[in-house]
Amino acid sequence: MSKKYDVALVGGRSLVLQHILKLLKKRSSVIERITIYASKDGVESLKSDEYQVKEMKFENIASHDFAFFSGGDLISLKYAARFMELGATVIDNSSIFRLNQESKLIAMHVNDEDRFEKGELYCNPNCVTIMVARVLKPLHDLFKMEKVIVATYQAASGMGKKALDGFLKEQASPDFISGFFLDDCVKKRPLFNNILPLIGTLENDGYTSEEYKIRHELKKIFHDPELESSITAVRVPLTNGHSSVIHVTFEREVDVTKALETLKNSEGIKYQEEYCCPLDATGSEDVFVSRFRRDLDCPYALTFFVSSDNLLVGAASNALYLFDLLVQGENIK
Ligand code: 2RA
């Protein structure tokens, strides 16, 4: 009989945790018990016969085999260590530990082998990083990438439930500005009927925190501190589904037919002949690819369009993939 695990979910009502919960239910044969830790308000609304719900306070933390965190940077920073002290393997969806040396940052099918490295904390990369890394990996193995230029089209759900609700409210009453999408900006603009070319906080050099996350996470995942990149992160008026235009330059000249054949045969990649879009990708655990072509002027470069479900591919599926790897390999504390 397979071993069963006691699992905690921290961040109660988060959109990603709701997806993690659904995926865990599909793995009921290895789940002993699920406990959800939520804010005081969340406890009441989450009550269910299927799992225990507790208020997220130090005195309520119990011992678990696994703890999935998706309550944001501050919640992970405050509580993850305590869960680990009490024996849990933490799989964290926040960005707070991703670049720490002692954290493992793993994108599905890209650097699975990194789970064997020293370090106890497993981090999910940023939702765009996962999508981009998954499609770049088979191409990198063929031609070795040198520089990647990405323009993103990120949906409202990437910012969480409050932001998504704010976007829906903007849609319902066009004069309303939720203000959620431009955190630190003086000039607030709506997302509805608009696009917002600024995600995260603006740094002195003109790049944003979101763009830096993607840049640094790609370097860590591909074990290449020299990997060049230029990222522009843009919020678009969609409820769900992130996309990107990727332009990538390689060390070796590209063979487009071989590249496409390889992509089509890569696990978790779905190539669509004419085009793909966020609506195709929503609800799927695959990364969708289309508009695949060689740069007209540079024989070393490719350009293409990708879409994926940011809550699944960009978060929940990757977290559950780590869980599966750990459970199958018994590679836990
Ligand atoms: C976003 N990638 O879409 C970020 C966080 N998940 O806002």
Higher-pLDDT residue of 216 and 41 is 216
Tell me the whole-structure pTM to 2 decimals.
Answer: 0.96
HEC string of 259-297? HHHHHHCCCCEEECCCCCCHHHHCCCCCEEEEEEEECCC
In this structure, the answer to whether residues 200 and 322 fall within a common structural domain is no
Residue 248 pLDDT > 80: yes
Q: Is the pLDDT of residue 75 over 70?
A: yes
- Please give the average per-residue pLDDT across 130-134, as a whole number: 98
pLDDT reported for residue 330: 58
For residue range 87-104, what is the model confidence (pLDDT) as tens digits? 999 999 999 999 999 999
Tell me what pLDDT residue 82 has. 98
Q: Is 60 exceeded by the pLDDT of residue 118?
A: yes
Q: Are residues 66 and 202 in the same domain?
A: no
For residues 72-77, give the mean pLDDT. 97
What confidence score (pLDDT) does residue 87 get?
A: 95
CB 139 within 8 A of CB 262: yes
What is the secondary structure of 179-196 as a DSSP string? -TTSTT-SS---STTS-B
Task: Band the pLDDT of 120: cuts 50, 70, 90.
Answer: confident
Taking residues 286-291, report their average pLDDT: 98
| Largest Cα span, the chain | 62
Length of the chain, in residues: 333
Report residue 216's pLDDT band, with 50, 70 and 90 as the boundaries.
very high
63 contacts 86 by C-beta, under 8 angstroms = yes
| Amino acid identity, position 57 | K
Percent of the chain with pLDDT over 90: 89
From the list 123, 127, 140, 216, the catalytic residue is 127
Question: Is residue 43 domain-shared with residue 116, that is, in the same domain?
Answer: yes
Helix axes 127-143, 256-264, angle to 10 degrees: 130
Q: What integer is the mean pLDDT of 314-326?
A: 97
Same domain, 164 and 200: yes
CATH number of the domain at 256, please: 3.30.360.10
Same domain, 46 and 76: yes
Question: Residue 1 has what pLDDT?
Answer: 63
Q: Do 191 and 121 share a structural domain? A: no
- What does DSSP say about strands 301-308 and 242-250: parallel, antiparallel, or unpaired? antiparallel
> What residues contact 266, with CB distance under 8 A and at least 6 apart?
109, 137, 138
Residues 94 and 81 in one domain: yes
144 & 245 share domain: yes
> How far apart (Å, rounded) are the C-alpha atoms in residues 244 and 289?
10
With cut-offs at 50, 70 and 90, classify the pLDDT of residue 35: very high
Mark whether 197 and 265 lie in a shared domain.
yes
**Contacts (Cβ under 8 Å, ≥6 apart) of 205:** none
Average pLDDT estimate for 61-83: 97
What is the DSSP-derived secondary structure letter of residue 111?
S
pLDDT of 19 higher than 90: yes
Rg (CA), the chain: 20
Mind giving me the DSSP string for 157-186? Answer: GGG-HHHHHHHHHHHHSTT----TTSTT-S
172 contact partners, CB below 8 Å, separation of at least 6: none
Question: Which letter does DSSP use for residue 60 in this model?
Answer: G
Q: What average pLDDT is seen over the chain?
A: 95
Q: Are residues 271 and 145 in the same domain?
A: yes
pLDDT of residue 179: 87
Average pLDDT over residues 23-40: 95
- The mean per-residue pLDDT over the stretch 273-297 comes to 98
∠ Cα 216 267 24 (to 5°): 80
**Among candidates 32, 31, 37, which has minimal Cα distance to 17?**
37
- How far CA 308 is from CA of 64, 184, 319, in Å, comes to 31, 27, 15
Residue numbers of the domain that contains 254 = 128-310
- Above 60 in pLDDT, residue 332? no
Total of domains in the chain:
2
127 is catalytic: yes
Do 61 and 45 belong to one domain?
A: yes
Q: State the Cα–Cα distance between residues 159 and 155, nearest whole angstrom.
A: 8
- Supply the pLDDT for residue 150: 98
Among 69, 161, 199, which residue has the most ligand 1 atoms within 8 Å of its CB, making it the best to mutate?
199
Residue given tokens 């496409």 in the structure block:
260
**Protein residue closest via CA to atom 4 of ligand 1:** 158
Residues with beta carbon inside 6 Å of ligand 1? 126-128, 154, 158-159, 199
Sorting pLDDT into bands at 50, 70 and 90, what band is 119? Answer: confident
Residue 238 clears pLDDT 90, i.e. is over it: yes
Q: What's the confidence (pLDDT) of residue 13?
A: 86
Q: Is the pLDDT of residue 183 over 90?
A: no
- Mutating to test ligand 1, I would choose from 93, 128, 217 the residue with most ligand atoms within 8 A of its C-beta, which is 128
Neighbours of 262 (CB within 10 A): 15
Note if 242 is an active site residue: yes
| CA pseudo-torsion sign 306, 116, 321, 122 | negative
3 state DSSP class of 304: strand
Judge if 322 and 270 occupy the same domain: no
For strands 52-55 and 31-38, give the pairing: parallel
